[in-house]
Amino acid sequence: MQVPQDIKALRQEGALQITWSDGEVARLRFTAVREACTCAQCVDEITGERILDPATIPPDITIENLQLVGNYALRISWSDGHSTGLYTWPLLRSLSHG
């Protein structure tokens, strides 16, 4: 499993930059990362159906805070007040290959 070696919120560019252990550098649009949240507020826990309407994500959304969770995920606090989702390394890697 690839793991991040460096993670930066490039607020001016509206992108999350991740340098992976294999040397790949990915830049993920904030809106795409926010849309990919898998928490219970964004995805129905029983059906797995996405609840979050992408149209409700502000186009100028930004990251206010990044927090590592163990050695497996990232918690992001967003400017829209959302902060309950965990972004695992496999999820972020899959977004890198969009």
Task: Single out the residue of 23, 26, 22 nearest to residue 92, CA to CA.
Answer: 26
Q: Over 70: is that where the pLDDT of 98 sits? A: no
Task: Single out the residue of 73, 97, 71, 76 nearest to residue 11, CA to CA.
Answer: 76
Query: Structural domain boundaries of the chain?
Result: 4-96
Task: Look up residue 89 and give its DSSP letter.
Answer: H
The CATH code belonging to domain 4-96 is: 3.30.2020.30
Q: Over 90: is that where the pLDDT of 14 sits? A: yes
Write down the mean pLDDT value for the chain. 96
Q: Over 80: is that where the pLDDT of 79 sits? A: yes
- For 27-51, how does the pLDDT look when each residue is reduced to its tens digit (9 = 90+)? 999 999 999 999 999 999 999 999 9
